[in-house]
């Protein structure tokens, strides 16, 4: 992986993690377009996710500090509840969906459907209630659905939050906080490959990896700020239109043209 490719992957990861267009699906797509060897792609994606984790910590540092100082009385236990369904899904189906390229086009279309549903739910008058354990569980189940590359994690969890009765802002906030245990869990699972150097070597060395991490952090920060600003003002159907176009193009290439797949 070259420095330029690492920059592009970091940019894609940073933007697509928090905009509801699927970071995993876009990383799969970009690596395929670049012809990057994906044998170490899981560990590489984890390293790029570290960049977006940094962005979350920068934006939400006050809430995260409160969770550290008051683990029982804060949102920490809600994040644990929200993470359980994804852990179960990963253990049960993670290997089955390891080759995400097979389902990529269909997964982008699933994201489009979820975003259209979220947009309709978001138009319903919401009470400004706080997140409770039922909301967290519903959003956690939706996060489990997003283990399939191409299904947006943020799009799925925001849809779950809106369906549970949260406002768009509160659903987005909690969705972004839910990325913390998800990313940290992936980092722990890939720690051996990272420490023994195999993942770093497969990605082209520490130079490209660090470029990817920093780029993902910068654009992740911008994506969070942008999403929190626009989610209350514009229709999510614009994102649905984008993922529909991407999904159709991927399916056409998979089944008709075979340029990349």
Q: What pTM does this model have?
A: 0.92
Contact indicator for 13, 51 with CB cutoff of 8 Å: yes
Which tokens in the block code for residue 156? 């799925």
Which tokens in the block code for residue 247? 């999904």
Q: What kind and span of H or E run contains 57?
A: helix 41-59
Packing angle, helices 23-34 and 41-59, rounded to 10: 140
Contact indicator for 113, 106 with CB cutoff of 8 Å: no
What is the DSSP secondary-structure string of 189-227? Answer: HTHHHHHTTHHHHHTTSHHHHHHHHHHHHHHHHHHHHHH
- Tell me how far apart the alpha carbons of residues 36 and 56 are, in angstroms, rounded to a whole number: 28
Residues 107, 149, 111, 114, Cα dihedral to 10°: 110
- Tell me how far apart the alpha carbons of residues 130 and 4 are, in angstroms, rounded to a whole number: 43
Write the burial class of residue 91 (CB in 10 Å: 0-12 exposed, 13-18 middle, 19+ buried).
Answer: exposed
Looking at residue 41, its pLDDT comes to 61
Q: How far apart are the first and last CA of the chain?
A: 20
Handedness of CA 29, 237, 18, 99 (dihedral sign): negative
- Tell me how far apart the alpha carbons of residues 171 and 118 are, in angstroms, rounded to a whole number: 11
Contacts 24+ apart (CB under 8 A), 203-208: 203/1, 203/6, 203/40, 203/43, 203/44, 203/47, 204/1, 204/2, 204/6, 207/3, 207/6, 208/1, 208/2, 208/3, 208/5, 208/6
Residue matched to tokens 């390229």 = 101
- Tell me how far apart the alpha carbons of residues 202 and 184 are, in angstroms, rounded to a whole number: 21
Looking at residue 215, its pLDDT comes to 96
Residue matched to tokens 């990313």 = 183
Handedness of CA 54, 56, 62, 68 (dihedral sign): negative
- Tell me how far apart the alpha carbons of residues 246 and 202 are, in angstroms, rounded to a whole number: 28
The rounded average pLDDT for each run of 10 residues, N- to C-terminus, in the chain (261 residues) is 90 95 92 76 79 97 96 93 94 72 90 95 80 96 92 96 93 96 86 71 78 96 95 92 97 92 84
């Amino acid at each position: 992986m070259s420095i330029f490719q690492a920059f592009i992957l970091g940019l894609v990861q940073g933007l697509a993690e928090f905009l509801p267009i699927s970071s995993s699906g876009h990383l799969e797509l970009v690596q395929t377009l670049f012809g990057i060897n994906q044998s170490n792609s899981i560990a590489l994606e984890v390293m790029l996710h570290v960049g977006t984790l940094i962005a979350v910590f920068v934006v939400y540092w006050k809430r995260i500090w409160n969770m550290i100082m008051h683990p029982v009385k804060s949102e920490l236990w809600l994040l644990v509840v929200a993470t359980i369904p994804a852990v179960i899904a990963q253990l049960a189906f993670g290997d089955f969906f390891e080759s995400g390229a097979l389902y990529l086009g269909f997964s982008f279309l699933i994201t489009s459907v979820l975003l259209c549903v979220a947009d309709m739910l978001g138009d319903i008058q919401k009470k400004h209630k706080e997140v409770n354990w039922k909301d967290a569980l519903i959003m956690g189940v939706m996060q489990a659905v997003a283990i399939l590359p191409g299904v947006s994690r943020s799009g799925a969890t925001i849809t779950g939050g809106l369906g549970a009765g949260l406002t768009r802002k509160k659903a987005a906030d909690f969705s972004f906080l839910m990325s913390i245990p998800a990313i940290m869990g992936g980092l722990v699972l890939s720690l051996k490959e990272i420490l023994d150097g195999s993942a770093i070597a497969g990605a082209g060395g520490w130079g490209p990896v660090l470029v990817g991490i920093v780029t993902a952090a910068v654009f992740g920060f911008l994506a969070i700020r942008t999403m929190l600003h626009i989610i209350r003002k514009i229709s999510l159907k614009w994102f649905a239109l984008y993922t529909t176009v991407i999904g159709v193009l991927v399916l056409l290439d998979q089944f008709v043209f075979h340029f990349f797949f």
